[in-house]
Structures are given as C-alpha cells and as structure tokens.
Structure 1
Amino acid sequence: MSLSVNLPSLTIGTDAFDAIEEYCSQFGTTVAILGGEKALAASKEKLSAALEKTSLEVLTVQVYGKEASYTNVERMKAIKEVQDADMIFAVGGGRAIDTIKVVARDLDKPLFTIPTLASVSAPTSAVCVMYHDNHEMAGLAFRKAPADHTFIDTQIIAEAPYEYLWAGIGDCMSKEVETSFSSRGRDLSFENRLGVNVVKGTNDKLMEAGAKALEAVKNKEANAALEEVILEIIGASAYASVLVDNDINSNMAHAYYYGYTVLPQAHEHLHGEVVSYGILLLLTMDEQFEYRDRMKAFMESIKLPTKLADQGVTTQEEIDKLVDKAMTMDDLTFSPYEITREKFEQAIKDVEALA
C-alpha cells in the first residue's frame, strides 16, 4: 500500500502577502475570501493592496459566522460566488479557518489560509475541530491534506489581541507532551516517528521566547521572538499534526478541554488557555513531576491558568460534568496505559493541591 505525506507549506514575514501570486496563480484567477468579521477587517488593507498586484479577481468576501459548525459550512457552500471561485482564501483564527477548510474540502477547491491570530495550528493542519451551534464539541473533520499554502503576516498577528497569542502558546505546549505520551512504547511508522520528533524541543523554545513574543504583541511590533513562537504554533505543531495518526495527535490535555466545553463558562475562555491546564494534569498523572514544575513555573510567569478557579470551575458538580464528557473522548484511548476516571480525577486533585 502506498504512502502519501502532505506537509504544510507556508510563507512568513511582514511581507508574506507578496508571495500570493507565486503560489496561487497556478490554480486559476478567481477567489472567494471567507473569514471572521474582525479578521477580514484587520487584514483588509494589506491583503487588498497585495491582491491588486496579482492576476487574481475577488468574486466575494463573506463572514463565515461565529462558530466552527456544520451550519456555517453549509451556508458558505450555498453561496454561488463561493461555488464559482477557482480557489478559497480562509482568513482568521482557528474556528473560522477550520470551518472554511471543510467548505473547501466539500467543494473540492484549492485552499489558502491567512491567519490573523497565532492561537492554534489550524491554518496549516489537516484536521478541523467542529462544534455544535451551542458551542459544545461536535467532533473532528479531516482533509486529505493541509491548505495548499499559508501566508503568515507577522505584523497583522503582532497587532491582534494579546490573549490569542497567549492562548496559542498554551495550546502549542500540549503537542510535544501529548504526542510523546501517546506514542510511548510503540513501534512507530516513518511518518509517526517524524511527527513525534519534529516537536521535540518546541516547549524549550516556547519557554525561551514566549515572554518576548508576548511583549511584541503588547507593543504591536513584529520581532524575531514573535516569529519564532508563531513558527512553533503554526509550523512545528502543525507538521506534527499532519504527520502523526490522529490517535497520537492528542491525549489527556485535549480530553480535558473537550470536557470543559460542556460548561456554560467555556465560551469565556480560549482553547489553548484551557488545554494548558490539561497539560499539568497529564504530566502529574504520568509522574513527570520535574517537567510539570518547569511548565507550571513558565505558565505562571505568563499567567496561563494553573488552577480550576482560573477557568471559572468552582464546584464539584462542574468537575463531575467536565470529567463525564472528557472520559468519552477518543483522545484518551491511545495511551501507554489505561486512563481511568479515578486517575483523571486524582490528577485534578493533585494539581489543585500544588502550591
């Protein structure tokens, strides 16, 4: 049986949009631009100026909605100009881009992503995290390959709200921890071994450059540290996601997040913000205490949550609901040992007991 490996392709820099003609013109001449309302506004000036220098014609610009739901996928697919376009540009953060990734897949259109936030690896990954209209996790959708190319304008990301890069660091920290844990003791195929190894060292880089990158966003000025962190979030993390089997791609940290989505306060907290607490749970359960303490110290230094109360979880009833959902997630099934409810609950108690 043949093996196909489709890796992300990207251009990064303050002049990234200058590469649009080079990468897009081979796919046709007409474009449908879909994205989040704020993202479209934030990128409009630079993207419009860049497109004027190309042979591409924009047929329509559409706000995708507010949730990565199949309702919004079907709404976008029904728009004639989207159907007629030679290619689709997806502009925004994770939920906007994941929605549009499914639209492009279903319509069999070339896809180009333009992240305006560095909060998740969605722009360069092939997996799409989908939600119900009530914001509860609905499941994963998959593409055969990531976007045809990703254009990362670092100045646009520098000017985005601080909390998105902050949460992006939290989400990215999980990739090295979860892939290493899920793959432990297994005879890995070529692509799985490559994916697990590509994120080794990611957390050292995030701990080294994370605070400087966040400072760049505070100052709204792109710098080398910001580019390094973006490349870990949208680069290395996505390479791992594309290469490894989905069973290896995530584990307890993401199961915790998906459990959290059943709580009403979930919409008040960002994906990576919540996932970062889940990392502490996994490292505690797995008795990687020295590594956990290093991660916790870094998280505290940039004010990522290290307590349930930081995420608005204050009652045992909320914890029970969260764990109920988390224990149903497939993320937990591919582990070096069984993750029981008792282990999950004990990890929460142990992390909450930390100073």
Structure 2
Amino acid sequence: MVQVTRPRTTAIAPSQILRGKGILESCVEVSSLGQRPLVIGGNHGLDQVRSSLQTALAHLSWEEASYAPDCSEASLEKLCSAVQAHQADLVIGAGGGKALDAAKWVGYHCRLPVVTIPTSAATCAAWTALSNLYSDNGTFEYDVSLSQCPNLLILDYQLIESAPQRTLVAGIGDALAKWYEASVSSGQSQDTLVIAAVQQARVLRDILLQKSAEALASPGSDIWCQVVDASVLMAGVIGGLGGAQCRTVAAHAVHNGLTHLPHHKGSLHGEKVAYGILVQLRLEEMLQGSQLAMTARHQLLAFYRQIGLPTTLADLGMAEVSLQVLMQSADVACAPQSDLHHLPFTVVPDQLMAAMVSTTAPIPGRVSCTQQMNGLNEDCP
C-alpha cells in the first residue's frame, strides 16, 4: 500500500514581476486581475503614486484606503470593510512595508488577487507571502504566513529613486540579515530548497557588500538598479525558497523588541534589523567564543559606517533610553515565542542587554579592522 504524505505548500514568488523605469503609468496588466481595485497605502505612499495610478487605472473604478494608524488588527478590519463597501475585486498595495503587508493580508482574507507597488527599496515585503502585524502604536505583535505571494509586483525604478536614499540603505541592512540569520537557523538543513535559500543568502550578502557603496553614489544607474533588485527581489526569493524553515533569528527579534521603546519611530525597520545583526554576532562572540562572528561583526561595522547604517543605540536615536526601559525591549526579544530562540544556544535578557550596549566592542588585543573593506573575507559568516 502506498503511503500518502501530507503535501507541503511553498509560496516562492509572485505570479508576475514587472521591472523598469517609469512603467507604472503604462501598466495594463492590472486590469487583467480586476476592474474595481481598492488601493491601500499610507498617506505619504498614496501621495507618491496617485498621479501615476490615475493614468494607469483611468479605465477602472478604484478607490483609496489608508492603513493608518498602523498595520494593526483594527486597521485591517476597517480595510476589509472598505473592500466590501467598494465591492472591490482586487487589492493594490502601494507604499512601504506596512502598506504592502496590509494589502497582502486584506487580499488573503477577502480572497482577492493582490498587486504590490513598493515606493522604496526599504524591505522585500512586495515579494513575500508574509504580513507583520503591529499595534495601533506601532509595536510589533506577530506575523502571519499567507498562502501565496502577490499576483503582480510592479517595481518602478523611477518611483524607487524618488524615495529618500536612507530607505535603500535601510533595505540593504534588512536584506543582509538573510545570510546572518538563515545560516544560523538553517545552515545544517538537508532540505534542498533550504540549502538553496541559504546559499542564495550568501550570494546576496556578497553582492551588497561589494556593490552598495558604488550604487548609493550613483542613484538610477545600472549598479543602483542591481542593488535595488537585491534588496527587494533577491531577498524575497530567499524567503520564498526557505520558507518557515529559513527563519529570522536574533536580528529581527531585536527589531521587534526595539519597537516597544518610546523613541523607536525615529528609525526604519531595516535600520533596527541591521543593528540587530551586530547584536546577534556579539551574542555569538560572548556566549560561544566565536572568532568568525567577531571578524564578521568588525567587517560589518566598517561597511555600516561606509554607507550610513546604525552601529549603536545612539545611532538609532535611543541614546537617552535608560537601562530599565531597554530591559523591557530585551524582555520582549527574549519572550518564549521569539525568533531569538532559533539561535543554537540559550539567551536571557541580561545577556541580550550586554550585547545590545557593546555592538562596537573592539577585537581584544587588535586594532579595529576598518581596512577589511578592501576585500571580502570569504571565511566570515
């Protein structure tokens, strides 16, 4: 008798991806998915795309809806009501990560096709089958896995270039975490797709370390588009291939904890995650004596300073946060359900606090290796 196993569902990629400069206004593919779209975004994101959408959707009956005050349960319920009120047959997300996450969640729950239009390269949210949910005040609560990636992703480089350069820098930080987290949580996996995801994460890291500085110096250039693709698309590929087995670890757990601090809104998602990578590497040094983690951390410190990513709490605008308040963040990051526990060793809040305040600690007995950026150390994790 043949034994039937339960199938595993893998949402790897959007059904269609359109890339190019100035393509949004002439994008006719949207109409193949629906005639009554509801466009979800924040006030700023909607302002960025409204004129282009008026051209692209001129022959469709469409309305706008804001996810404000945040991508929260209350806001998502209102957006589902807006779908019903408009009798929408398509959901379009336009904006940053939270706008796209809100649109994906609403499309999933209302069983409608989804189009994502990122207005910056700050995250890979335009690609993934995942939505992060927050409180109305912006504190991270939990994430939701969705059954599929968006039906259509429109990556308009002209739109991305109009965003502040800081958003691309943050996206580089967020994308870098793919390697430092996936290699720790899934590096020993024998699953073929997870192996592929981890190896792609290594390639992604090398692309970003080698090309980011030049790309940031020449917005709109070919190399700039390559780095945008790496941050938005290639990072999404890794999450799609690896799925739940290719997990976030301490870097995102630190981000989640930081969102519970009073001043967290002064920094972007990818900036907190980039700082979290340094914290994760510092934990590996402190609790496992890892020389590779120490070398990797100093390589990243040089790179962060070169492109403008934060290396300390002060860089995140949290210099005045007391240790008592910071401990609240550490408690959240170390909660039982936290992704931090995908580390191969136990971490308690006091240890996490020690790592958070020593991300720039020097290598004992050595000069800080800021000259390492002349070439990549292939042995670094």
- Secondary structure of the residue aligned to 2:343 is coil
The size of the alignment, in residue pairs, is: 346
User: 1:174 and 1:82, CA in 2 relative to 1: closer, same or farther beyond 3 A?
Assistant: farther
- The equivalent of 1:339 in structure 2 is 347
- The equivalent of 1:174 in structure 2 is 177
| TM-superposed deviation, 1:208 | 2.1
Is 1:305 matched with 2:313? no
User: 1:5 and 1:317, CA in 2 relative to 1: closer, same or farther beyond 3 A?
Assistant: same
CA shift digits 1:49-68 (9 cap, x unpaired): 2334xxx5133122232411
| TM-superposed deviation, 1:343 | 4.1
CA distance in 2, matches of 1:25, 1:59: 11
Q: Name whichever of 148-157 and 27-36 sits farther off.
A: 27-36
- The equivalent of 2:18 in structure 1 is 11
Q: Is the 8 A contact 1:6 1:146 kept in 2?
A: yes
Which ranges of structure 1 fall in alignment gaps of 5 or more residues? none
| TM-superposed deviation, 1:296 | 1.1
Q: Name whichever of 303-312 and 334-343 sits farther off.
A: 334-343
- The equivalent of 2:216 in structure 1 is 214
- The equivalent of 1:139 in structure 2 is 142
Is 1:322 matched with 2:329? yes
Superposition pairs for residues 34-73 of structure 1, below 5 Å? 34-52=40-58, 57-73=60-76
CA distance in 2, matches of 1:262, 1:322: 6
CA distance in 1, matches of 2:302, 2:83: 52
User: 1:61 and 1:317, CA in 2 relative to 1: closer, same or farther beyond 3 A?
Assistant: same
CA shift digits 1:238-285 (9 cap, x unpaired): 112223243532101111111111110011111111111111121232
Q: Equivalent pairs: percent with the same residue? A: 26
- Secondary structure of the residue aligned to 1:17 is coil
Superposition pairs for residues 148-187 of structure 1, below 5 Å? 148-185=151-188, 187=189
Superposition pairs for residues 182-261 of structure 1, below 5 Å? 182-185=185-188, 187-217=189-219, 222-246=220-244, 248-261=246-259
Is 1:289 matched with 2:294? yes
- Secondary structure of the residue aligned to 1:99 is helix
Q: Name whichever of 312-321 and 260-269 sits farther off.
A: 312-321
Q: Select the structure of larger CA radius of gyration.
A: 2
Root-mean-square deviation (CA, aligned residues, Å) is 2.1
Letter in 2 for 1:159: S
Q: Is the 8 A contact 2:252 2:339 kept in 1?
A: yes
- The equivalent of 1:353 in structure 2 is 361
CA distance in 2, matches of 1:80, 1:276: 36
TM-score of the superposition, structure 2-length normalised?
0.84
| TM-superposed deviation, 1:82 | 6.0
User: 1:349 and 1:340, CA in 2 relative to 1: closer, same or farther beyond 3 A?
Assistant: same
User: 1:32 and 1:16, CA in 2 relative to 1: closer, same or farther beyond 3 A?
Assistant: same
CA shift digits 1:303-332 (9 cap, x unpaired): 211122222144322331221111015212
CA distance in 2, matches of 1:177, 1:298: 15
Is 1:100 matched with 2:106? no
- The equivalent of 1:124 in structure 2 is 127
Which ranges of structure 2 fall in alignment gaps of 5 or more residues? 1-5, 285-289, 363-367, 369-381
| TM-superposed deviation, 1:352 | 4.3
CA shift digits 1:180-210 (9 cap, x unpaired): 111133x332332232222222122112222
TM-score of the superposition, structure 1-length normalised?
0.90
CA distance in 1, matches of 2:262, 2:84: 37
| TM-superposed deviation, 1:111 | 0.2
